[in-house]
Structure 1
């Protein structure tokens, strides 16, 4: 019943959907040159042979799946991969990082004519969806066409579980589109089973297996020279409210740490100007990377509002606060700084990475703070205590390293799904 209502609303909502997309384009949230893709019109030909379709909502999901894509293409040399995402930032990252034999397209809006147009063109042999994206029309059409499908690195938060539990007749058939669900944690696996998912297994978090974020050597050398050995720390993937916290931390520490350089990497680079204005109001000298600036002696804060360069700053800043964790977003990936030798700090909101945060906490491999005062205290402590900073970084790197084989477990679990799609390794 609810599925019928949803489909009907999306069917009559075509004009509203086009208006919505137009407004997103005006706000810089859609790529005008590729707008037809959102309506299911492909901008590339389907290659011959078997095609595996990965759907990843945004940046975090798409980055986490790169290691799996690379390994699949190595193991199955006749396979091509299609990756869909829904954001401009993720599309830009995929353009830079996808390997040969992999194609990126924007996911079509979940309206049946767009969905069918997309699937008619691409004819995927299997569908691998990442984490927690539930698009009813897309999933129903995958099921109707009997495309083998798996939910990989699946997440099901407590809040989402409560909400979906209220509509069991709606969520159960959608989850049963997936013949296999590979959950990040046993808790999430249990929630998926209770909602009706089939063949649910816990294999760990694929983000542990991701390769360390890359960094352009020339850019790294230039930034290292510009940093000039100044004490520095990084607010990584920040959200509104966290930049003000970072500014307050800087103000609290600059007299104690002469030459202190605070680096802010906004989660959404288009907010660079907004962040710069906030810092100006606080009287802090700042440089903006999108303007081509490097931090100089007169700059106290460096705003790195560019796409795909976070790996640079993890290599430059010895102390990192994980963004999205000081405000109720749910936190971003602490494995990324851990892999690159950083001392990791995060706030109280880490529901998106609860299992990772728990492992780091159990090994005394990260510092949890509750507020701005706690963050200022810990950043100051770690920038002045070399031994503790090194111990924390080493412990975090060890947690990341011992979980790197998650991708092998995922690949092994996917073998029957790949076989059902007619995908087999070369003899």
Structure 2
């Protein structure tokens, strides 16, 4: 019975999508007005290609946003090294910028088609991917069903399921079976994630570890870093990164408490830079002087907060400090990736709501390289303690870098899992290039 209900639900989803297709333009226009869509490339969201398909075999990678894009960059480079063409789709303008910065012109970027049958079909008809590789937890019903109908292998890499997502899918077992059975392979981050995917009907499932550990260090401009370090001088610094609403205000309050005692400069890097105008207004209302990266403002002795309102420069911001609070953890839920600051030499602070990165935080906390805080008062105490106890801070930094190094190996495990799908395409790329569509 549940199989019948699942088919009915998916059929309804398909036809609702067909009905909405003619009027979806207003939705995209609304997102474009908010800076969430690239209006000059809106046709790509309807599955209309903006560049020519290359000859030969092609792998379609999909990564929803910045974190997923960063995670699959080394994997994409390995596929390209084998002579296989890649089209990478992402869903946000920020992830598109990261893809351009880290992959350049060697990889085709397109915005992901809407999960509506006309858009997905048009995309697949044009690109004819030989393999689809999806990052982390992007489960789009129409896309999965269309790939399955065309017998295109689908592999989920760096797979994870949050507590909330697992609970939601588990409450719809028929729907989960109907979708997850289309996946040729799931390569999960942890044993817990792997067991969750198996429960939902995915087979086979392997475990690789977290691909984010095997990414290259975030790029930065050494000349810009030197300029900012010269401007900062001997002032103490700390950073609040990947922050969500409420956490920028918390960082501002921490700065006000510690400013006179430490001669402090606070660096705030919101997860969504489009919020920075409102954040600046809020910080100014607290009496704080704000410099912004996009304006090229100098960091003077009077500057209280350096607002990192750019995409793809986390490597710059984190190299300006040795203490980093990782957001979406104090007021919002789920957490953000703590491995990048640990990798770049920061002692890590975080709120307790880190369900989406539970294993990473457990390993960092066990090694003594990350500390959890309950509230703003405890965050202020943690920042003060780390900035005034050099030995403790250095011990945390060294432990973090060692922990990240010990966690490496996910890329190698993922490539090994993908070999049955990638190796035939490697041979095909060398011997039988395909004519352009």
Stretch deviating more after TM superposition (165-174 or 39-48): 165-174
Q: Is the 8 A contact 2:324 2:348 kept in 1?
A: yes
- Alignment CA distance shift 1:423-1:172 (3 Å): farther
Whole-angstrom CA distance in 2 between matches of 1:327 and 1:423: 51
Report the CA distance between 1:115 and its aligned residue: 0.5
TM-score (norm 2): 0.94
Stretch deviating more after TM superposition (371-380 or 165-174): 165-174
1:381 partnered with 2:380: no
- 1:7 corresponds in structure 2 to 14
- 1:96 corresponds in structure 2 to 101
Aligned with 1:344 (options 348, 354, 358)? 348
- 2:325 corresponds in structure 1 to 321
Whole-angstrom CA distance in 1 between matches of 2:12 and 2:426: 35
Q: Deviations over 1:243-273 (max 9, x none)?
A: 000011001111221x210000111111111
Listed as ranges, the matches of 1:24-63 within 5 Å are: 24-63=31-70
3-state SS of 2:319 partner: helix
Whole-angstrom CA distance in 2 between matches of 1:424 and 1:49: 7
Whole-angstrom CA distance in 2 between matches of 1:117 and 1:412: 32
- Alignment CA distance shift 1:222-1:276 (3 Å): same
Aligned with 1:360 (options 357, 360, 364)? 364
1:256 partnered with 2:223: no
Report the CA distance between 1:94 and its aligned residue: 1.0
Listed as ranges, the matches of 1:140-179 within 5 Å are: 140-179=145-184
Q: Is the 8 A contact 2:245 2:332 kept in 1?
A: no
Q: Is the 8 A contact 1:148 1:421 kept in 2?
A: no
Whole-angstrom CA distance in 1 between matches of 2:99 and 2:255: 34
TM-score (norm 1): 0.97
Whole-angstrom CA distance in 2 between matches of 1:134 and 1:121: 22
Structure 1: where are the runs of 5+ without partners? none
Whole-angstrom CA distance in 2 between matches of 1:135 and 1:16: 20
Whole-angstrom CA distance in 1 between matches of 2:353 and 2:429: 42
Aligned with 2:305 (options 290, 298, 301)? 301
Q: How many residues align?
A: 424
Whole-angstrom CA distance in 2 between matches of 1:321 and 1:265: 10
Report the CA distance between 1:113 and its aligned residue: 0.6
Report the CA distance between 1:420 and its aligned residue: 5.7
Q: Is the 8 A contact 1:184 1:204 kept in 2?
A: yes
Report the CA distance between 1:421 and its aligned residue: 5.1
Q: Is the 8 A contact 2:56 2:429 kept in 1?
A: no
- 1:122 corresponds in structure 2 to 127
- Alignment CA distance shift 1:164-1:118 (3 Å): same
Q: Deviations over 1:292-334 (max 9, x none)?
A: 2121111111111011111001111110001111123311111
Listed as ranges, the matches of 1:48-87 within 5 Å are: 48-74=55-81, 76=82, 78-87=83-92
- 2:337 corresponds in structure 1 to 333
Q: Deviations over 1:40-63 (max 9, x none)?
A: 111111100111111001011001
Q: Is the 8 A contact 1:154 1:181 kept in 2?
A: yes
Report the CA distance between 1:181 and its aligned residue: 0.3
Whole-angstrom CA distance in 1 between matches of 2:284 and 2:271: 20
Which portions of structure 1, spanning 4 or more consecutive aligned residues, are displaced by more than 3 angstroms? 419-427
Whole-angstrom CA distance in 1 between matches of 2:299 and 2:171: 52
Whole-angstrom CA distance in 2 between matches of 1:7 and 1:188: 29
